[in-house]
Structures are given as C-alpha cells and as structure tokens.
Chains A and B, each alone.
Chain A
C-alpha cells in the first residue's frame, strides 16, 4: 500500500468524499511528528529512542449527529474505509441541537507567524544530545558527595506538524518544535534516600537552560529534602513554590473548562462575573505569545487564539470554551478548542498564568511565623465538583520567616474555592517555564495532617 503525504489538499479531498456520502459538515485533523529522546544514567547512555509517526482523524456531522474515527494507516484504501466508518458511527449518535462546526464568521483569517519551530536545531547531532544529558547528570552528581545515585537525565526533542481542514472551507497548518531536558538525582543520608528533579523545556533549542544549571538546581532541590520529618497536625499558612502554585492554576483551568461547567461538574459552575478569588488573583490566558509552548496560529476548530483576562483581581471574567461548550452555556467560543487526532474537540488553556505580584519569594516566606513551604505534591485528591482538595505534600517547614527543616509524609488540605479567596501574597517571580505558570503564592491557612 502506498503511503500518502499529509496535506491540506488531502484534507479537502477527504471532506469532499464525505460530502458525497451525505455528510452535512466535517473536519479533518492530521498530525505528524519526529521524536527523539536519550537518557543517561551514572555517566553512561541508558536509552535512545527515535521515531516518526503520522495520524489522520475525521469527524463528520449528519445534521446534528456526529462521529469520529482515526487511523495511522495513511493509504487510499484505508482513507476510504475511514470515511465509511465515520459515516456509520455518526449515524448512531443522538441529534444534539448544540452540535456542529463554529460559525463561518468566527474562523481565523490571517494566520499569524508565531515562531513556533526551531528549524536550525534539526541538525543537532545525536552525540550533542547525549552530551547534554550526560553533562546535566554530571553536574548534579558532582555537586555534593551525598548525591551518589541517580534516576538519570533525559534530553528529548520533537518536531511536529498539524494540519486542519473543515467543510466550511477553512484549512491551515503549522509546525512546531519542543526541546527539553531534565535530571533526577538521588541523595542519601543516614540510611534514607530522597529523589528530586529539575527540568527545562522550550520551543527553541538555544533557549534551554544550560545542562549545568539544570543539574545544579536538581542537586540543590534533592539536598534540601534530606532529613525530612513529619510534623504535628495543624492549620497554618502555606506557601506554594512556583511549580506547585502552577498545579493549583491547572486545577483552576480544569474548573473553567466549558465541558465541566455545562455538566455541572465544576465548583465554578454559574460563577461568571462573581468574585472567585482574592484581589491578587489575576489570571491571563494568551495563545498569541511568539515562541511560547501554548501558542498556535488557530485553535482546534480553526478559530483565532487570543489573549484574555480570565480572572481580574479576583473577579471571574471568562470561561475557557470551544464552540460546542459555548453554545451549551449560551456563549461564544473563547478560542480554546483543543484537539487530539480522531476525537471531538475538548477545551484547554493556551499559555495560562497568574500575574506576578510585588513581593519577592523571600519576603513571602519571611512573612510566615510558622507554616509550610510546599515544593512537591503527589496524588489525585482534587474533587472538581466540590473543590475539595487533599494531596500528599513534601517541602520545608517555615519558622520565624525562615526555611527551617524539610518535611514529608504530610497532606495539605482545604477547598479550592476558599484557597483562591485566601491568596494573601503573590510573588514577583513569574517565569513561563511551561504552558501553565505562576509565581510563588501564599494561602492564609490550610490544614496539614501529619502525626
């Protein structure tokens, strides 16, 4: 079987085939990628993996009922089968009055060049990539004699291309790259072990943090965990470091997803226009930042990405919507349709961040007489329907405004509704390390369970 090249034209051809079978609307999502990773451990290469993949997905509407199918077999025969299968599937689903593609007028017209790909980095040799992983791990291992073991270091990169075509006549495509490296050292003291990690990721190879800086940061993070103990159960102020504060923002983004909202499965259902946080809670979603990990020229339905204030000084200004969840709520899409090949759209934030405050992280820690500085959370103890929050935590205990000693095997619990209201300080240390980012934040009081 001859494998076809993915292209906008192929997308249009498939939609024409579907129209001939009676489909009223449809769209095609195609993706191809080349990916690579190498891991190194204890000074030697451990794994190398290299691959190429292509996938093609079709969604069809017959009136208001719809179905989707996808395949990795990009041949003429397989595509004919895909159209037949999708047609068959779409006919058994319900007539959903809110179904369908977005309005023509909403579609993106001029696709911006957001500088998402680093073509110059295609030529980086495997040896150079190996060296990045080796160097990062080396820096961690050399940092302190208590670091004598490691889960390894990894370098990875991916070059991808996404093509979208819809029966309304929209078609577009973009290419993007991502590079990342990380290291996870293990430190030992008095017979107990701790592991931590640090990472850097970027669309541009040259903008990655140096292997040395990542290795040393990882080393510092693991060393400060040594000798961790439990604390007594109590209710105290809690400071979340930027990584952990970003995970609270991830919870916020899920609660603002149109799908969770119209289903009544979010603790923020019906809260638009009301106060959901303290005056320090200003949250932006911006899919138009050049070179950022969450930027794209158009969303999963061909709509323009945009910058919007989601929460303005505590007041909820915007949900995150695609056209379907928007219609369900009587609103327009906010350009947040996300797509995986072969599925109906979902909703995801673009580049979603809490605006920086004015306090330095040191000043925030300094304001706490006795409390917890959280640097790691584990587990899935977040109930999006009620906002109930209870997760395993590790970090450092704050005494008289200083980081005093490491703590572990404790939980930090509260309710997200109250946690956002009780943000007392926001740090000046915002850095877009990923698609979702936050500065350090302090929450007035939460329950710590321990001994």
Chain B
C-alpha cells in the first residue's frame, strides 16, 4: 500500500532516521535477555477551530513528534520515550526500556507469528483536512451558525468545533517488521442551547471519520448535524423527568451501540482476561447473550473513525467475532497478551501516542442486524423506555456493571413512543444484559463518527453500531420513583 513506504521516507527525511539505525537501536533494546522490542515513531499535527456567540473566536494548531521504545520480557514491559527524535536519544531510551529485562524470571513465551496485511488503504485521502485553507473552515463554521439559528428562534447560542488531525506513524520491531501508516482524522461538532423562559436545554450532534473536507460539505451533512442538535435541544425543553426502576428498554439504531462498547467490549479485552480480572474471564464458548446477538469488532471498515490499516504495533486490523449467536467466541488482543495467552493477534494493539504503552483496545464494535422491523419492536412494548441518543458510558470491568447516559429518550406507552424524558443513566450487568435481548432489528446503523474511548488514561478514537434492539428489563436511573 502506498502509505506503507511513505512513513519510512518521512522519518528519514525529517529526522534523519535510517533503517540501519533502527536495527542498531532495536539490538540495544533487546539486549541479551528480552523477548521482543519495538520502536514507535509518531508525527502529529492537530488543528482546532471553534465558534461560539456567532464568532470564530479560537483557532489553534499543534505539532508534536516523538518516539517510544518498548521492550518485552515475559509479562514485563519496559518503556521509554522522547519528543526529541535523535539517534542518541533513541539509544538512551532503549537502554532505559531494557532495564525491565535485567531481573527477569521464568521462561519466555513462544514468539507470536506476524501476519502480513495485503496492501490496502482504508482511507485514501488526497488532501487532509489540516491542509484545507483555514478561511474555508472558518466560513463553514459561520454557515453552520447561521443555519442553526435560522431553524428555531428559541436557539440562543450555537457552538461549533472542527478538529482535525494528521498523524504519521512508523513501527519497527525486533522481528524485522517495519510498517507505517498515515492516519487522518476529523470531527465536526455542533451544540446549541435553546431557551424558553427559565428553561434552558442543550442539544449536540456531530460526525466525522478518516475523511476529506468534502465529507461535511458535499452533501450538506453539516446541516443535518445542526438540525439534529437543534431538534434535540428543543425536544428537551418539553421533556419530563425520567422514570426510575427496572423496565423494558428499546435502544435505537446507531450510537446506542455504546451499550456493546461498555457492557461487553471492554470486558473482552485481552489484558483483563489474561489477568482474570474481567467478569468475562474463562468464559469463551459459553452463552453470554441471547441467540439473536452476534457482535463483532471490525477495524477494516473504510473511512471510519475507529478504523486503522495497521494497529499501533504494526499488526493489520481485522474483523473479530466477539459473540456469535449468543456464544462468546473471542477476545481483543495486542502482542503482549496474545503471546502470553497463546491466542491469535487481532490487530487491536492501540495507544494514544508515542508517550503511551499499547493495550488491547476496540476499533468499531457493533451488533449484526436481525430480522425484526424496528416498528414491531416498539409495538411489542407496553410500558418502557425508548432511548435513541446517548452521552458517555463507563464500565467496572471486574464486577461487570456498566452505565450509559441517554441524551434523547421517550416513554413507551402501549407500543408507541410518547413523552420525551430528560437524561437518565441506564445501568446493567455486562455478562447478563445481552441475555435479555429479545428482539433485534433489521436496521443496523453505525454511529456518525464521534466516539472516543478512555482506558487507563489513554484516549483513542472508536466507532460503535447497533440495530434497534429490545432489552427485557434494564434499570433506568431517573428521578421519578
């Protein structure tokens, strides 16, 4: 693929890093006792433009580059990084990372085979959004502000932000792999505050991915974001307090897939399962969901926010079946944990930046479509909650308890969505919640491209997806007991 050689040239030209230098540093890092070493070079440009109160007030740009040196010796990881990419600093970092292998005990695990990805580029981009003239982006933000304010006189303030990143990475390993990638990423977000007397509500919507500027403007998608943000804020002006207690819950298609991310995705990451601290530990082959549920993690969907050509250890990304017709099939792995668990690599070794050690992380996590018509799913509920949009979520991996907070939800009364209700948090138990999925819709949708996942202090972009589903009995955390 085109992006495989460009990063090699890039770091050679800009930082004078040659391939025989890489070998030398990797040799020092490996020393006599370590099992594996790798180098992760990163160059990153970020740009953010923000509008509020009808003005593009802020614009900022940052450039960062650095390199991380990692050494593995059985379960141990030594890591050192520097933001000053020189051969001398690489040598110092390599010796620091080597420290970990000095007092090792036990036998080395079998080295993991390295699958080579066939040439592919999931996000071929001619002009990164970072390189589009700033004036054009500023103009777009003003256009969105005018458009959103024009939709309803109750809209009192509009916030728009456009953030873009251009990242070049290069991974070199002691197994002889040298692979790079160029990873552009953009996100456009629109929020607005609607006011009616003393009542003030907020609505937010956005989207993006590893896309060009045209993604937002060619089909006026930005208008859709603005309309959705305004609609949500206005809707919440008339919302009533959310109910409290256990009830049937219908989740709408798309972004509510955050349920999968929190309830099962994290619990299936290899590190927690190797350490047996996950509520899903030792449960491969067991039933953890109803037969209607098949859940995958797929880092190979073109242009998606959660997709990458290779993970941050150089492994090509994959489509991994996590749950097949209700049965737990697989974990998400990075090199360290796959090696120790003697399981295949899945291309899920990710990190926030050169300053971070890779971990098993999700990419795009979603449930495959079922057969029910979405209308029939709603119609089947006598009394319950219909949640179509969410803020963030969180999970306690060990107890399996997860939450996610609705930003747009309705009461279901006699098979119909009726009153909108104010934000409520939904709480459940990961290993149990999917066993109570009694209907799965035919309307699988992936989210718009806004997700960021945090784990152990590291943020990475991810995606989720879901068809409309019905869960029999989930606790809704409103105030109306």
Using a CB–CB cutoff of 8 Å, the interface residues on chain A facing chain B are 3, 41, 44-55, 57, 66-73, 78, 85-86, 88-90, 92-94, 96, 99, 126, 149-151, 186, 192-195, 225, 228, 230, 233-235, 263-265, 269, 342-344, 376, 378-381, 383, 385-386, 388, 390-392, 394, 408-415, 447-451
B392:A413 contact, CB within 8 angstroms: no
Interface of chain B residues 342 through 371 with chain A (CB within 8 A): 355, 357
Residues of A within 8 A of B319 (CB): none
Asked whether, in the complex, the Cβ of A69 is within 8 Å of the Cβ of B475, the reply is no
Partner of B477, one of A3, A55, A411: A411
Known: A149-B276, A193-B277, A194-B398. 13 other contacts (CB 8 A): A53-B66, A71-B63, A89-B61, A149-B277, A151-B398, A264-B195, A381-B403, A381-B424, A383-B423, A385-B201, A390-B242, A394-B396, A410-B427
Query: Which of the residues A90, A264, A376 comes within 8 Å of B156, measured between beta carbons?
Result: A264
Taking the closest CB of chain B, its distance from the CB of A266, in whole angstroms, is 10
B positions within 8 Å CB-CB of A: 52-53, 55-66, 75-84, 96-97, 99-100, 103, 105, 134-135, 138, 156-157, 159, 193, 195, 200-202, 242, 244-246, 275-277, 279, 355, 357, 391-399, 401-405, 422-425, 427-429, 475-481
Contact A186 B425 (CB under 8 A): no
**A89→B423 contact, CB < 8 A:** no
Partner of A54, one of B57, B83, B424, B478: B83
What is the interface of chain B mostly: helix, strand, loop, or mixed?
A: strand
Say yes or no: A392 contacts B63, CB within 8 Å.
Answer: no
The answer to whether B277 touches A151, judged by C-beta atoms less than 8 angstroms apart, is yes
* B48 nearest CB across to chain A (Å): 9
Task: Assess whether A88 is in contact with B134, with CB atoms less than 8 Å apart.
Answer: yes
List, in ascending order, chain B residues with CB within 8 A of A50's CB. Answer: 79-80, 96
Contacts of A94 in B (CB 8 A): 55-57
Q: How far is the CB of A269 from chain B (nearest CB, A)?
A: 8
Which residues of chain A are near B79, meaning CB under 8 Å? 47-50
Q: Which residues of A contact B244 (CB under 8 A)?
A: 233, 411, 413, 447-449
Instruction: Say whether, besides A94-B55, A193-B398, A68 and B392 are in contact (CB < 8 Å).
Output: no
Looking at the assembled complex, report how far the CB atom of A125 sits from the nearest CB atom of chain B, in whole angstroms.
11
- Among A53, A392, A449, the residue within 8 A (CB) of B478 is A449
Whether B76 lies near A378 (C-beta < 8 A) is: no
- Tally the A-B contacts, defined by beta carbons under 8 Å: 262
A378 to B242, CA, bound (A): 19
A68 to B103, CA, bound (A): 47
Does the CB pair B277–A343 fall under 8 Å? no
Neighbour of A411 across the interface among B105, B277, B279, B427, CB < 8 A: B427
* A385 contacts across to B, CB distance below 8 A: 193, 200-202
Cα A395 to Cα B216 in complex, Å, equals 46
Q: Can you spell out 30 A-B residue pairs with CB atoms less than 8 angstroms apart?
A: A44-B105, A46-B75, A47-B78, A48-B78, A53-B66, A67-B61, A69-B62, A71-B62, A71-B63, A72-B63, A72-B66, A78-B63, A85-B61, A89-B61, A92-B56, A93-B58, A151-B398, A194-B398, A263-B53, A265-B202, A379-B393, A379-B394, A379-B404, A379-B405, A383-B422, A390-B242, A390-B405, A412-B477, A415-B479, A449-B476
Q: Top 10 closest A-B pairs, CB basis?
A: A411-B477, A392-B403, A379-B403, A195-B398, A94-B55, A381-B425, A380-B392, A449-B244, A233-B245, A381-B405
Is A41 in contact with B275, judged by CB distance below 8 angstroms?
yes
Q: Measured between C-beta atoms, what is the minimum distance from A217 to chain B in Å?
A: 18
Given known contacts A53-B355, A68-B60, A390-B423, is B394 in contact with A378 (CB within 8 Å)?
A: yes
- Cα of A51 to Cα of B476 in the assembled complex, Å: 45
| Interchain CB contact under 8 A, A386 and B156 | no
Q: Which of B60, B97, B392 contacts A89 (CB 8 A)?
A: B60
Q: How far is the CA of A451 from the CA of B429 in the complex (A)?
A: 13
Q: Residues of A contacting B479 with CB < 8 Å?
A: 390, 413-415, 447
Contact A411 B76 (CB under 8 A): no
Return chain A residues, CB-CB under 8 Å to B397.
Answer: 195
The chain A residue with its CB closest to the CB of B394 is: A378
Instruction: Determine if A234 and B481 form an interchain contact, defined as CB atoms under 8 angstroms apart.
Output: yes
The answer to whether B405 touches A409, judged by C-beta atoms less than 8 angstroms apart, is no
Q: Which residues of B contact A73 (CB under 8 A)?
A: 63, 65
Q: Is A344 a contact partner of B392 (Cβ separation < 8 A)?
A: no
Interface contact A390-B478, CB-CB below 8 Å: yes
The residue in chain B whose Cβ has the minimal distance to the Cβ of A37 is: B79
Q: Is the CB of A388 within 8 A of B423?
A: yes
Distance (Å) between the CB of B233 and the closest chain A CB?
9
Bound-state CA distance A264–B200 (Å) is: 8
Pick the most buried of B58, B82, B105, B357: most chain A CB atoms within 10 A of its CB.
Answer: B58
CB-nearest residue of chain A to B476: A449
Kindly provide the distance from the CB of A385 to the nearest chain B CB, expressed in whole angstroms.
Answer: 5
Q: Nearest-CB distance from A44 to chain B (Å)?
A: 7
Partner of A195, one of B75, B392, B399, B424: B399
